[in-house]
Amino acid sequence: MQYIDLTHTFTPAMPVFPGDPAAELDEVSTVAKDGILHYEVKTGMHVGTHMDAPAHMLEGGKFLDQYPPVKFFGRGVVLDAQGKSAADVNLLDQQQIQKGDIVLVCFGWSSEFQNEQYYLNYPEIKEGLARKLAELEVSIVGMDTPSPDRAPYVTHKILFEKDILIIENLNNLEALLKFKSFEIAALPAKFKAEAAPCRVVARIN
């Protein structure tokens, strides 16, 4: 088996969505001085690779802790949107999407993660693609951008209304493009919250 990590490492230097507070990861004790190494973290839930639940934008929507573990595992499908300003429904041509799949959209945008334009000029997922994925009853949609869309966040809401979770700020999706078959494990921290940091790994069959 081969495993590919699709997660950005959480560091205090990582960028955040404009207007959000910076992430903090501070060393509060050391082995040399205190006998133990201990870090303290302070962060919003939408920093780095993370998962959004419907409660993020829908009144009465589910929180992440309400989902059973089976929700976070599934057959992976990657859509190649590299070089595109938007991902449209035609990306599903030649794809066999099944109910419960975890669909990842590769824009090749993770290479911009430390650059200012990452949050300013990112490509989006069009409503038509979101509606088709909702119709196909996929489980999760992820992308290597900070968001699938912009305000008023119609794509977010289309997915959330069908109980589809969203993973933002994925990394290294290009590594999946050469594989025809893989599985995804996308495990968010179990916070009673609208979102949480998420470790996402592909297992190549």
Domain annotation covers residue 11: no
Predicted local distance difference test score (pLDDT) of residue 113: 96
For residue 39, being part of any structural domain is answered with no
Looking at the domain assignment, is residue 153 inside a domain?
yes
CATH of the domain at 87: 3.50.30.50
Domain assignment present for residue 112? The answer is yes
Instruction: Residue 53: give the domain boundaries.
Output: 2-6+45-204
pLDDT of residue 23: 94
How much is the pTM? Answer: 0.97
- Contact, 53 vs 67, CB < 8 A? yes
**Residues of the chain under the 70 pLDDT cut:** none
Cα 117 to chain centroid distance, Å, stands at 18
- Could you read off the pLDDT of 78-97 as tens digits, one per residue? 999 999 999 999 999 989 99
Q: What is the predicted pLDDT for the residue at 35?
A: 98
Structural domain includes residue 65:
yes
Domain count, the chain: 1
136-147 tens-digit pLDDT: 999 999 999 999
Q: Confirm if 180 and 54 have CB atoms less than 8 A apart.
A: no
pLDDT score for 205: 87
Tell me whether residue 21 is in a domain.
Answer: no
In a domain, 28, yes or no: no
Residue 27, domain member (yes or no): no
Peptide bond into 197 cis (omega under 30): no
Cα–Cα distance, 173 to 43 (Å, whole number): 25
Are 79 and 87 in contact by the 8 Å Cβ rule? The answer is yes
